[in-house]
Structure 1
Amino acid sequence: MSDLALPLDLFHFIRPWLLVLLPVIALLWWWVRRRLAPHKPPETAIAPHLAQALTVGRASARRVLPIDGVALVLALTCLGAAGPTWSRVPDPFVAQTAPLVIALKVTPSMEAHDLAPSRLERSKQKIADLLALRAGARSALIAYAGTAHSVVPMTEDPHVLQPYLEGLSPDVMPDKGNATAAALELARSIMAKESAPGGILFVTDDIEAADVAALNGFQGASVAVLAALPDGVGSAGIDQLTIPVQQVTVDDADITTLDRRLNAAYRRALAEQGDQPWDDRGWLLAWPAMLLGLFWFRRGWTMRWGAAALAALVLQPGTGRAEGVTDWFLTPDQQGQIAYDKHHFDRAGALFIEPMHKAHALYRDGKYDAVVETLAGIETPDAAFLSAMAHIKSRGYREAIADFQTTLDRDPNFPGAAQNLELAKKMLDFVETARVQSDTGEKTGEGADGVVLDNKDARGADTQIRGGEQGAKLLTADQWMNTVDTNTADFLRQRFAIEAAQQ
Structure 2
Amino acid sequence: MTEFTFIRPDALWLLIVVALYMLWRLTGSKRQPSNSQLIAPHLATQVLSQGQQKRAPSHVLSTLLMALMVVAIAGPSFSKKEVPVYQSKMARVLVMDMSRSMYSTDIAPSRLQQARYKALDMVDLFTEGETALVAYANDAYTISPLTSDSQTLTNLIPSLSPDIMPGQGSNVLAGLTQAQELLSQAGYARGDVILLSDGIDADEEADVRDWLASHDYRLHIYAIGTAEGAPINLPDGGFLKDQYGQIVIPTTDFSPLQRLAQAGNGKLLRYQASAANLSVLQSTEQQQQELQQDNKQTLWRIDAGIYLTLLIVPLMLWLMGRRALVLCAFMVLLPQPKAYAAQWQSWFNNEQQNALSAYQNEAYDQASQTENPLIAGAAKYQQQDYRGALDAFASDNSAQGLYNQGNALAQLGQLDEAIERYQQALEKNPELESAARNKALVEQMRQQQQQESQQGNNEQDSSQNKQQTEQDNDNQQQGEQQQSQQGQQQSAAQRNDANNNDPQNSAQENDESSGQQPTESESKQSDSEQSQQQQQRQNGEQQQGDKAQSAEQQQQAQQMQQQQGDQQGPEQQLAAQASELTPEERERAQQLNQLLRKIPDDPEILLRNKMQLESRKRQRYRRLPQGVEKSW
TM-score, normalised to structure 2's length? 0.37
Which structure would you say has the larger RCO, counting Cα contacts within 8 Å and 6 or more residues apart? 2
Larger Rg: 2
